């Protein structure tokens, strides 16, 4: 192979199982990024070919007609394949209700609070999976597993399955199972739970001053069920839990991402941040420090949802860290292997 993709050696089932990845690929696979426009263009080609990103995130700014979405996703995947890259994770927030990027002519649902029975959940999941797969989207950032008490003005009241941890757990497990049975990766969010907060982390940094025992009895119940259901991914919240980590929010915390989620909850799958462009992060920690903490916490995927120079900054930081020592590279390879293992489950290679 010649040209800008010539250094890539990722070309088929055998190399998918036993890949030899460059540092640039190891860095890029840990980025899931947003972009502008509804067509495949030179900038999107650059993100895939030069930065070697592992995934893309679609927002309303990327959605045209179903055929336009299909062409966009197909072109992105074709370019990744032409460069010898692994298939792309292509994700979207399609919860229904308040958070749904796909509108008419796609089926519009009222959201999780309106799903009162498991039959409601199954209808949503089957329909959603069929429509997402039909246009080439393979990951849904759903379900919301935050438990929203009635006695407070929960930030998640309009997006949660409700105030009962066991009900949220049952409905979430059903949604995960149905999405994944129908070929769409589910992502449970927002670990370890933000239903008992009222401040929007898009704007600023909320705090939930709860003990581990309190979290175990309430907020963590649905996430433990999601782990048992083999959920494809778990998204960390931009919430500060001072009794678990005195300094860092969950999305940047070794104590939460590694000790709680990996070790205590025994989750072996892909762990990702929420969008690192959100106010909770940029107003309190800065983007560069956030990426450094993602690495320190062994978080697999960093989400950067707006197209800016931050994507290049993230890739450069990842690249420098991976090249700093054999131990850093080993840890990077372990994290990327979780991502590739997930891709092997969902893609024909």
More confident residue, 13 or 107: 107
Determine the Cα–Cα distance for residues 114 and 96; give it in Å rounded to an integer.
Answer: 10
Q: Does position 321 have pLDDT exceeding 80, yes or no?
A: yes
Q: Which of 274, 275, 300, 315 is catalytic?
A: 274
Q: Delimit the domains of the chain by residue range.
A: 92-346
Q: Which fold has domain 92-346?
A: TIM Barrel (3.20.20)
Q: Does position 14 have pLDDT exceeding 70, yes or no?
A: no
pLDDT digits (tens, 9 = 90+) for 229-260: 999 999 999 999 999 999 999 999 999 999 99
Nearest Cα to Cα of residue 79 among 89, 87, 90 = 87
Determine the Cα–Cα distance for residues 62 and 110; give it in Å rounded to an integer.
Answer: 22
pLDDT digits (tens, 9 = 90+) for 145-201: 999 999 999 999 999 999 999 999 999 999 999 999 999 999 999 999 999 999 989
Residue 2's pLDDT band (cuts 50, 70, 90):
very low
pLDDT digits (tens, 9 = 90+) for 111-135: 999 999 999 999 999 999 999 999 9
**Percent of the chain whose pLDDT exceeds 90:** 93
Q: What is the pLDDT of residue 1?
A: 30
Catalytic annotation on 274?
A: yes
Q: What is the pLDDT of residue 19?
A: 53
> What DSSP assignment string belongs to 117-155?
SHHHHHHHHHHHHHHHHHHT--EE---B-----TTTT-T
pTM above 0.85, yes or no: yes
Average pLDDT, the chain: 93
Determine the Cα–Cα distance for residues 5 and 258; give it in Å rounded to an integer.
Answer: 34
Determine the Cα–Cα distance for residues 241 and 144; give it in Å rounded to an integer.
Answer: 19
Residue 218's pLDDT band (cuts 50, 70, 90):
very high
More confident residue, 349 or 323: 323
Q: Which of 7, 36, 43, 202 is catalytic?
A: 202
Displacement of CA 86 from its chain's centroid (Å): 17
pLDDT digits (tens, 9 = 90+) for 258-297: 999 999 999 999 999 999 999 999 999 999 999 999 999 9
Catalytic annotation on 213?
A: no
Q: Is 270 left (phi over 0), alpha (psi -120 to 50) or beta?
A: beta
């Amino acid at each position: 192979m010649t040209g800008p993709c010539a250094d890539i050696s990722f070309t088929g089932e055998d190399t998918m199982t036993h890949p030899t990845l460059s540092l640039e690929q190891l860095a890029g696979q840990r980025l899931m990024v947003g972009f502008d426009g509804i067509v495949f263009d030179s900038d999107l080609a650059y993100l895939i070919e030069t930065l070697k990103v592992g995934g893309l995130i679609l927002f309303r700014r990327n959605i045209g007609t179903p055929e336009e979405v299909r062409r966009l996703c197909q072109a992105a995947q074709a370019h990744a394949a032409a460069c010898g890259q692994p298939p792309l994770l292509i994700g979207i927030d399609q919860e229904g209700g308040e958070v749904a990027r796909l509108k008419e002519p796609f089926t519009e649902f009222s959201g999780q609070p309106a799903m009162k029975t498991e039959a409601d959940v199954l209808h949503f999941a089957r329909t959603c999976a069929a429509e997402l797969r039909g246009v080439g989207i393979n990951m849904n950032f759903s379900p919301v597993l935050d438990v929203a008490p009635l006695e407070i003005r929960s930030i998640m009241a309009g997006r949660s399955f409700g105030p009962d941890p066991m009900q949220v757990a049952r409905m979430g497990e059903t949604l995960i199972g149905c999405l994944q049975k129908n070929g769409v990766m589910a992502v449970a969010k927002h670990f370890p739970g933000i239903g008992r907060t009222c401040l929007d982390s898009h704007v600023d940094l909320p705090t939930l001053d709860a003990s581990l025992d309190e979290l175990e009895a309430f907020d963590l119940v649905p996430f433990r069920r999601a782990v048992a259901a083999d959920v494809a991914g778990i998204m960390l919240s931009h919430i500060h839990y001072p009794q678990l980590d005195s300094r860092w929010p969950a999305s940047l915390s070794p104590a939460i991402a590694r000790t709680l989620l990996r070790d205590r909850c025994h989750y072996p799958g892909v762990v990702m941040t929420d969008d690192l462009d959100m106010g909770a992060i940029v107003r309190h920690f800065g983007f560069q420090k956030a990426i450094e903490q993602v690495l320190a916490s062994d978080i697999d995927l960093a989400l950067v949802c707006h197209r800016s120079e931050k994507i290049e900054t993230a890739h450069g930081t990842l690249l420098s860290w991976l090249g700093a020592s054999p131990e850093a590279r080993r840890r990077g390879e372990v994290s990327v292997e979780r991502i590739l293992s997930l891709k092997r489950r969902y893609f024909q290679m």
